[in-house]
Amino acid sequence: MAKGKHRPDNEINAGSMADIAFLLLIFFLTVTKIDTEKGIKVKLPPWSEEEPPDVDVTDRNAFVVLVNSRDELLVEGERTDITQLKNKAKRFIANFGKDPNLSTSPQAAVISFKGNRGTSYDMYIQVYNELRAAYNELRNELAEEKFGKPVSEFTEADSLKFEYVKEFYPYRISEAEPTNF
Amino acid sequence: MIGSKFKKKQGNTTPGINTSSLPDIIFILLFFFMVATVLRETSLKVKNSLPQATEIEKLEDKSLVKYIYIGPPQDMYVKQYGTDDRIQLNDAIASIGDIGLFIESERAALRPDKRSYMKISLKVDKRSKLGIVTDVKQELRKADALLITYASIKREEVY
């Protein structure tokens, strides 16, 4: 309908382009999922035939965490609420030999975590998460004190500092085979 | 004079909205979704609502991550598989004994120099029991697949 003098009407009709793009969009919406790949990283101990030695409960360097099939938590022989677990673990790890009932050094301290086959996975993760949080908070405190920034702000250039922090507070969470009663 | 000239051209019909830029907008949306999402490889046969945690890290290299799903079968599969926790490898419900073979075949599919970096993501429903998870972990240890993650959702508040 252009009333111009010599303009031929030769534009490509792009109206259906939107429809094609919509189809593609809907296809991708249905066959893909939004990326949520996150989790607690764990390194399992290598397989060995013999049973690992039982943790000596009376040893001051062992911090015994037990969970039963009703998701109740027992820490060092005391019934404990999960909200207290992190602070107890931190006190145990960073004792440096002061309290005679707690660990001698963070490198020697071992957290022994034993569940039950009937424990819910959710409870297991919550407990494991709290133990990890205890270590991570201690690492952050050390990093703040020594290097003036938390571990999360370390860059590639700080790998030596990270090694230092990791060596100072190594993750030592040992998992025993869950009991079966 | 100019005003009257302008009025003449206007006419009575309402002009349509120009939609020529609509495809561009849709294409931008499309590209966003293509980049921000990953292809869904498996259809889940087990329920999978993940637990929440605070100490979580991101998994870096997707091609090195293999998944093991554990949970009670979804409602449509209850007749077939019961209500107890089940393991799903790829698309099928599997038993504990299949894990070793699964790990071997997944490892063989990777480039030789990357094989030792293979990671296993355990996507376990939070209502599952610890027993079956432990059995799976023992099988993973036997198969020498030691780098695992417990897939979880970020929880903001801390105890």
Q: Chain B contacts of A20, Cβ < 8 Å?
A: 23
Q: Can you read off the two tokens belonging to residue B145?
A: 């697949």
Using CB atoms and an 8 Å cut-off, which of residues 110-139 of chain B contact chain A? 121-122, 124-131, 133-134, 137-138
**Does a structural domain hold residue B24?**
no
Mean pLDDT of B94-115: 92
Using CB atoms and an 8 Å cut-off, which of residues 139-158 of chain B contact chain A? 140-142, 144, 146-154, 158
Contact predicate A143/A161, CB 8 Å? yes
B37 → closest Cβ in A32, A39, A126: A32
CATH at B122: 3.30.420.270
A46 → closest Cβ in B29, B130, B141: B141
Mean pLDDT of B6-26: 73
Residues contacting B122, CB < 8 A, separation 6+: A39, B68, B70, B133, B136, B137, B148, B149, B150, B151
Q: Which of B30, B127, B154 to mutate to test the interface with A (most CBs of A within 10 A)?
A: B30
**Does a structural domain hold residue B6?**
no
Separation between Cα atoms, residue A145 and residue A135, nearest integer Å: 15
Domain count, chain B: 1
User: Would you give the DSSP letter of residue A146?
Assistant: H
Chain A contact for B96, CB < 8 A? no
Identify the pLDDT of residue A2.
47
**What does pTM read for this prediction?**
0.79
- Mean pLDDT for all residues in chain B: 85
Confidence of residue B72 (pLDDT cuts 50, 70, 90): very high
CA B62 to chain centre: 10
- Å between A43 CA and nearest CA of chain B: 5
pLDDT at residue B135 is higher than 90: yes
A34 → closest Cβ in B37, B130, B142: B37
- Which residue on chain A is closest to B131 by alpha carbon? A117
Identify the pLDDT of residue B148.
94
A125 → closest Cβ in B30, B121, B152: B152
Identify the pLDDT of residue A123.
94
Instruction: Determine whether the interchain pair B150/A21 forms a contact, defined as Cβ–Cβ distance below 8 Å.
Output: no
**Does a structural domain hold residue B70?**
yes
B133 → closest Cβ in A46, A121, A132: A121
- Å between A85 CA and nearest CA of chain B: 9
Identify the pLDDT of residue B51.
92
Q: Where do the domains of chain A lie?
A: 62-179
Confidence of residue B149 (pLDDT cuts 50, 70, 90): very high
Chain A contact for B44, CB < 8 A? no
- DSSP result, B75-127: GGGHHHH-SS-EEEETTEEE-TTHHHHHHHHHHHTS-GGGGGG-EEEEEE-TT
Residues contacting B91, CB < 8 A, separation 6+: B42, B43, B45
Mean pLDDT of B32-57: 83
Q: Which of A41, A80, A123 to mutate to test the interface with B (most CBs of B within 10 A)?
A: A41
Identify the pLDDT of residue A125.
94
Confidence of residue B144 (pLDDT cuts 50, 70, 90): very high
Q: What is the pLDDT along chain A (181 residues), one digit of tens a residue?
A: 445 555 666 777 767 878 888 888 888 888 777 666 789 999 998 888 777 666 666 678 889 999 999 999 999 888 999 999 999 999 999 988 888 888 888 888 889 999 999 999 999 999 999 999 999 999 999 999 988 888 888 888 888 888 999 999 999 888 888 776 5
- Å between A171 CA and nearest CA of chain B: 13
CB atoms within 10 A of CB B110: 15
Distances (CA, A) of A181 to A17, A69, A176: 65, 8, 15
For A43-47, A70-74, B22-26, B53-57, which range has the lowest pLDDT when averaged over its residues?
Answer: B22-26
- Å between B158 CA and nearest CA of chain A: 9
Identify the pLDDT of residue A130.
94
Q: Chain B contacts of A27, Cβ < 8 Å?
A: none
B147 → closest Cβ in A35, A43, A120: A43
Q: Chain B contacts of A35, Cβ < 8 Å?
A: 36-38
- Give the residue numbers spanning the domain of B114: 52-154
Identify the pLDDT of residue B73.
94
- Which residue on chain A is closest to B122 by alpha carbon? A39
